[in-house]
Amino acid sequence: MQATVTVRHLFVSPGHNYFGRHGQPAGEHPTLDVPVVRCRAGQGIEGDRFFGYRPDYNGQITFFAWETLVALRAHFRADTISPAVFRRNVVTEGLPLPTLAGQRFVLGEIEFEGIGEAKPCHWMNAAAVPGAEAWLRGRGGLRAKILSDGELRPGPVAVRASGLLDLSAAG
C-alpha cells in the first residue's frame, strides 16, 4: 500500500544523554533539529550518536508520532513539551508506527525494517513531565534498521509498506 505522510521534524544528537548512563546524571548533548538526515544502510544516520554503533543494530533510526506528542501535551496539560526531548530521529504525522514493527517499509526513497517499539525510559519523567514514562508505554515510537542509503527532509513524503498500512491507526 502507498500513502503520503508528513515528516514534521528530524533530529540528531552527537552524544548520549541517557543511553548507558543509568545511575548517573543525564548527559548534556544537544538534540539538533536538522533540515536533512543522511541515512546509511546498516550504519544509521550520519552525525547521530548511534551511527556505526554496532553491526546489525536494531535502533539505527527511531521514529516518533506527532499525534503522540499532541496527546501527551493534552493529557499532562503541558503545551510546551518539545518533540526533541524524546530523542527520536524522525517525527512523523499520519504514519501508524506500531503497525510497521516486523515489516519493511519505504519512506521517500529509503527502505527500512521496523523492529519494534522504541520503549520509553525513566528519563522521560525528568525530560518531558513526571509520569511520561508510564504514559508513553506502547507509544514510545519505532526502532528500525536502515536498509538503503538516502536523505529525508521535513514535509510530505510517500510511504509504502510490504504489509497492512492502516493510516487511521496513526498516533
pTM metric for this prediction: 0.89
The total of other beta-carbon atoms located within 10 Å of residue 132's CB is 22
Percent of the chain with pLDDT over 90: 64
Say if CB 128 and CB 70 are below 8 A apart: no
- Nearest of 109, 136, 152 to residue 8 by alpha carbon: 152
The predicted-structure confidence for 70-79, as pLDDT tens digits, reads as follows 999 999 999 9
Give the mean pLDDT of the chain: 88
Check residues 62 and 164 and name the one with the higher pLDDT. 62
End-to-end CA distance of the chain: 19
Torsion-angle region of residue 135: left (phi > 0), alpha (psi -120 to 50) or beta? alpha
In this structure, which amino acid lies at residue 6?
T
Q: What's the pLDDT at 36?
A: 98
Say if CB 143 and CB 59 are below 8 A apart: yes
Say if CB 118 and CB 142 are below 8 A apart: yes
Domain boundaries, the chain: 2-12+33-163
Q: Which long-range contacts does 131-138 make (Cβ < 8 Å, 24+ apart)?
A: 131/76, 132/72, 132/76, 135/72, 135/75, 135/76, 136/68, 136/72, 138/98
Phi, psi dihedrals of residue 129, rounded to the nearest 5°: -165, 145
Check residues 53 and 8 and name the one with the higher pLDDT. 8
The predicted-structure confidence for 146-171, as pLDDT tens digits, reads as follows 999 999 999 999 999 977 566 655 65
CATH class of 2-12+33-163: mainly beta
Exposure string over 46-82, b if 16+ CB within 10 A, otherwise e: eebbbbeeeeebebbbbbbbbbbbeebeeeeeeeebe
